[in-house]
Copies of this chain bind each other. A is one copy, B any other.
Amino acid sequence: MVGGGQLARMMIPAAIELGIEIKVLGETPESSARLAVSEVGDYRDSATVLAFAEGVDVITFDHEHVPQPILRELVARGVQVRPGPHALLYAQDKLLMRERLGQLGLPVPDWARVSDAGELAEFLADHDGRAVVKTPRGGYDGKGVRVVSSASEVADWFDAAGGDLLVEELVEFRRELAQLVARRPSGEIAAWPLVETVQRGGVCAEVLAPAPRSAGSLSDTASDIAYRVAEGLDVTGVLAVELFETTDDRVLVNELAMRPHNSGHWTIDGSTTSQFEQHLRAVLDLPLGATGCRDTWSVMVNILGGPATGTLADRYPRVLADQPTAKVHNYGKDPRPGRKVGHVTVGGDDLDEVVYQARAAAAAFD
């Protein structure tokens, strides 16, 4: 696995249980996934990644940032890269993603490729004077995304980027949803139940599984979209499709991630097969596991930032005593404002109660 963040960390338990040897190329020896870090180095350095890939059966990823030339060199050398560079391209470049999803006939917000302030102003004029501008590459957790009403608000991006920007209509949405699926090279796909995601400041804050008030047709629409993306882009491993449920009852694709995703952390405790186990099965082309919910409701709340002083573990005596059913996941990262340092999942039959407990447990780490 290239990248040693919390996604790699949470892959380790799944690998241990299935008896799969996992090695991680970490950024530092103190990476979140440090227990499995076998090499430390820069994933943007070709020699580092190629050396790491020697002797492994499959290369997969904690993030989508490994440069295309390195991915293609791995493939040229016969390494199994999953997802492959031809798929990852669409998770790396939002302009290419929008173009490709359009070709596949998938529902997306109105969008345009804009090269300068004039083109952006034109798009704004056609969309009630407001729009979302995104840098095609490198954005995550709200970075590289701005809501603007004037082209001057992204003048720095036009100056610096040296490339085109993506502009999209400001979608009026009722809520955000996420559809996770996993796909094997041999074609098998399995979908988890549709979930509702709550974002705060561009960062995932909460996930409700399954998405409340998601009638059969909404679930069907979402899983149909995710199947078409997975097949159309030849994704292997876990694919997260972030969706808008619009106020006029449409479902539009917002973003894609080709790896385990924050919207799927609930599956560790709440589904028969976690997204981490499923990702391993999928990239190793093993049969996929059952994806049903283990509880009527599962609610995941991120621990963002953590305590101003001390560690998450300092709060355990109180949190674990107050919430004996809460599953606490601690990423082993130093607390820092806004940083994803852990999450809590609670399951149960009463949604209001489950939400309350999960929020209370997560808040106790503030």
Contacts and interface: CB of A to CB of B under 8 A. Distances in A.
Contacts of A13: 12-13, 16-17
A9 B18 contact: no
Contacts of A272: 324-325, 327
A286 B316 contact: yes
Interface string A310-321: 001100110011
Contacts of A12: 12-13, 16, 35
Interface residues of A, number: 37
Q: How many copies altogether?
A: 2
Interface stretch (A159-167, A172-180, A329-337): A329-337
B327 A17 contact: yes
Nearest to A17: B329
A174 to B, nearest CB: 33
A241 interface: no
A207 interface: no
Nearest to A294: B294
A109 to B, nearest CB: 36
A190 to B, nearest CB: 8
A294 B289 CA distance: 18
A287 interface: yes
A20 interface: yes
A320 B19 contact: no
Contacts of A359: none
Nearest to A20: B313
Nearest to A22: B35
A281 interface: yes
Contacts of A317: 286-287
Contact of A324 (B268, B288, B328, B331): B288
A3 interface: no
A290 interface: yes
Given A12-B13, A18-B328, A272-B324, 8 more contacts: A10-B16, A13-B16, A18-B316, A19-B313, A272-B325, A286-B320, A288-B320, A289-B324
